[in-house]
Amino acid sequence: MLFINTRPVERRDTLSKRMLASGFDVFELPLLALSALDYSKTLEKLYQKLSDTQLIVVVSPFAVEVGMRYLQKSGISIQDLDHIKWVAVGQTTQKALLTYGIESHIPEVETSEGMLDLDIFKQKKLEKVAFWRGEGGRQFMMQHLIDRGVEVLNFLLYQRHCPESSVVDFPVLKSKIEQTHDGIVMCITSEASWNNWLKLCENDLELLQSCHYLVLGQRLYQILQHDKKLKQIYFNFTQVDRLEPDILIAEIAKLPRLL
């Protein structure tokens, strides 16, 4: 069975190695690449507002890296943020924060909905929350808090795009898929990565329909449902709530051998 690993280059190795060790043929096709945005006057002003912020939500290890680099540039120390509680989108981001000595809360389900389900977001006195994020990410979560009357500090730290290498590698993947006869599984972890995949496949509908998609979280599952109906295309997909290799392998084991 062919497993297509779409995780970013800096976060794909563990998953690829585990899937290979479990007998899968693995093709790496990252659907998102991240690049830091320049430090700006807007960011400088946002960092100064952290003095009375209650929570910082960090959405990726790259957000940790860029956010901490610009924190230092702003003249603020980590110790100046002792009053702040931190929320990480998942275990990898949590580990990145730990390298700075910062403990953080993580959700059971690594999605916006999962984070909003944390008790820390249910407190009535929640007034100001900062987001360290990339362009286009966590819109649902931020809007939910704004609708509750919470002030949101929007730290846009990086941009996301489809890697050029994946555009180049797409014909290679197409050829590999045509030679695969015992099932193809792909992980989809964000709306941005799904949209990039749709764009890559815009002239290869058959390829798009040949994969079974493991989709992270309920909201992304609903997006695929919507696109499937709207575009009148046929494909199968399964919701997963975490990205640990053992969880993905267990879900794949439930699928028919010939997808």
Neighbouring CB atoms inside 10 A of 72's CB total: 10
To 10 degrees, the CA torsion angle through 72, 78, 116, 53? -90
Residue ranges of the chain whose pLDDT lies below 70:
109-112, 137-138, 257-259
Domains annotated for the chain, with CATH where assigned, are: 2-32+163-253 (3.40.50.10090), 35-160 (3.40.50.10090)
pLDDT at 48: 97
Closest CA to 162 of 190, 138, 196: 196
Rounded to the nearest angstrom, the gap between the alpha carbon of residue 189 and the centroid of all alpha carbons in its chain is 5
pLDDT at 199: 96
Which tens digit of pLDDT belongs to each residue from 37-59?
Answer: 999 999 999 999 999 999 999 99
